[in-house]
Each structure stands twice: as C-alpha cells, then as structure tokens.
Structure 1
Amino acid sequence: MENDRKTYYIAVESGEISRSETSSTWSFKIMATDEEITELRSLFNQNYANEWKNFIRAHIPFVEYHHDNENNAIDEKLKTIYQAIHRLGDAQAKQHIEEMGILSEDPLA
C-alpha cells in the first residue's frame, strides 16, 4: 500500500489538492492513496457546502456565533480535515498542525 501513495500539496483555505508543487500556493505536503485523496476531497466538498449555508445564514443577524449550527459544522469539518492532513502529512505538516493546537490529544480521534 505504501507504494500506492503519491505526494499531494494541500491548501486548506481554498480546498485545493494538487499533485504539482508549483501550480499554486500550498500549506501542507502529504502522501496519500487515491482512496485517501477521495476521502479528503469529500471533506473539502462537505465544508464548502457548510460555508454556503453559513453565508446564507449570515444574513439573519439575530443568531449569535456560538449558537450557530452552520458555524459549528464548519469548525468540526475543518478539525476533521486537519486530522486527516496530520495523519497523512510529512513531518513538517504534522508539526505545524500540532503547534496550531486544534487537535485532541489523540490526532486520530
């Protein structure tokens, strides 16, 4: 299975997954199988859908952030994305995510 892994470059902010190191600005380098990339792409797509829901909800001014389900969904999905990148990432990616302090004690949890 290790032989099936390919290098990918990830930009969390834009949801980009690229095989080219120079095609765009990226934040994390990972090694993943086709299946793992499909799962990561699905997480990014789910987060994008949540962001649209949040955009629509943002026009309802009386809902506070900490009572906003769409914001909670985005936060949880981003945490799941960072957990996946931590699991698949190179040493630098793992260190950066750990320094962000957004993961639970167990990065696979």
Structure 2
Amino acid sequence: MDKKTYYINVGTGEVLEDKEALNYEFEISATEEELDKLRELFEETDNSSQGSYSTSWLPWKVYYHNEANQEYDYYLTEVYRALHQLGSPQTKQHIESMNVLENGI
C-alpha cells in the first residue's frame, strides 16, 4: 500500500490531508491501514476522556488513583507512540522532546 502524508491535531483528534486546512501539530506518512489504527486510538482516547471527566471535579480523588484517568493516559501515550512511528523527522524529534513515551519508544 502507498503511504500518504497527513497532518494531525492531537487536541481535536483530527487527521487532515491538506496542511493549509487547519492548524496541525504533527506530520505523518501512513497507509490507510495505519491511519485506521490511529483513528481507533483517537476514538479510544476520546471515550476514556469522557469516563475520566465524571470524577475530575472531585477534590479528594487523586488523579493517578482513578482507573479512568489511567486508561486515558494509556491511550494518549499510544497515540503519541503511533505518531512517533509514522512521523516525519521533525515529528519524531518533537515527540521525543516532550518525554511522553513511557517505557521507551
């Protein structure tokens, strides 16, 4: 399969084909199959963020002791891991500088 260039906005979970269409954070090169996997990770991240919201306002809940927060962190890390794997040299360098990939790259 041929790879195409895509532009990613992690905050909104958007995958764009036109780099002029909207603000983006990362540039990747991916096949349709790789792109589908990334979209699934964005969906899981969104689902888990909704689950963690319900307890986010409780001052007695410690962030890391909440299972929903741990799930959100896991999926967000997996998004960054996928972006690093598929990313341009600038994308890889930026993600590495963020120190968001636990347990190595």
TM-score by length of 2: 0.92
Q: What is the aligned partner in structure 2 of residue 72 from structure 1?
A: 70
Summarize the Cα distance change of 1:54–1:29 in structure 2 as closer, same or farther, 3 Å threshold: same
User: What are structure 2's unaligned runs of at least 5 residues?
Assistant: none
C-alpha RMSD of the superposition: 1.4
Q: Percent identity?
A: 37
Summarize the Cα distance change of 1:56–1:36 in structure 2 as closer, same or farther, 3 Å threshold: same
Q: What is the aligned partner in structure 2 of residue 28 from structure 1?
A: 26
Aligned pairs, number: 105
Q: Please, which of 60, 63, 77 is the counterpart of residue 62 of structure 1?
A: 60
Asked if the contact 2:77–2:102 (Cα under 8 Å) also holds between the matched residues in 1, the reply is no
Letter in 1 for 2:72: I
Letter in 1 for 2:53: F
SS at match of 1:66: helix
Q: What is the aligned partner in structure 2 of residue 99 from structure 1?
A: 97
Letter in 2 for 1:49: N
After superposition, the C-alpha distances for 1:51-84 in whole angstroms (9 at most, x for unaligned) are 1111123254432112111111111111111010
TM-score by length of 1: 0.89
User: What are structure 1's unaligned runs of at least 5 residues?
Assistant: none
